[in-house]
Structure 1
Amino acid sequence: MDLRGRGPAFLEFWRERHLCSLTTVRPDGTAHVVPVGVTLEPAVGLARVITMRGSRKVALVAARGAFDPTGPSAEPGPRSAETDPEGIGIDSELSVIVNGGAGVDGPPRRRGGARVAVCQIDGGRWSTLEGLAVVRDEPAAVAEAERRYAERYRTPRVNPQRVVLEISVTRVLGTL
């Protein structure tokens, strides 16, 4: 989805420095909402969130079908109450990290993905991007996400456990 046609006010709003929220869905259907920094690549309709491999948001996205059968991925480890205490379908080490299957110059190929929403608000201006998220851990994908994050927010600290949630935008809501 090319978002450049949404107009200059929309594009500028997604370049301004605003804290956002990411909403994922828990196994029981309730919302898991956390503050995040989001970057947007309007030409390809791709939003990115950098985060840690062991975060709850990564676990929820990985457990909700964020797998690309056309690209390489790890198989999940054995599951038990000890390794998967919340019953979300992945082991505690999050061995299921997904390779989206494309280089940093285009959106990854996707089969499925977790339904998520990112939202930012500034007074009466707000914008929500809904879409399908996958987890990517390839160095090029992480480096591109870090570069974009540094442009919008600040240079992120070094984190060897960093991964990227890549969201293919499917719907836009808001006042812009």
Structure 2
Amino acid sequence: MSIQIGQALPDLDVDVVEDGAPARRMSTASLLGQGRVVLFAVPGAFTPTCSDHHLPGYVQHFEAFRELGVGVVGMAVNDVYVMQAWAAVQQVPPGMKLLADGNGGFARALGLEFDGTAYGMGLRARRFALYAEDGVVRQLHVEAPGEFRVSTAEAVLQALKAPEAGTTG
């Protein structure tokens, strides 16, 4: 079962990429447990929709999230070296963090993983975005398989401005 609105985010250690610095290991509680944050997930760094639309949307609208007082963290089930390279290629702005969920432990703990073995991808994160306040999920936007609508930066910004939106997907 996937995480639900009103539940606390699980606490695991993950690798975090930020501002071109060496990756650091930190708990998801310290990364996502204080303040207001959007966590969006993609099935894989450097894959077409993820690289052409999903991450670029959050890069483009990063300042709009900051103006709302909301931090932005992106994640993928990829190793830290892939995430560092992806951040550099995508010109991730200072202050935006990428979470390298190398073995998919965080995606599994959220109940938002999928098995992409049939496509040669192994375990991956489903495409989603969630909004949390002090580590508690307040909005959850999970995409139907093959879709890219409810977890876009634009859709999440709109939902943040109309918080009664709740869960989609």
TM-score by length of structure 2 reads 0.29
Structure number with higher helix proportion: 2
TM-score by length of structure 1 reads 0.28
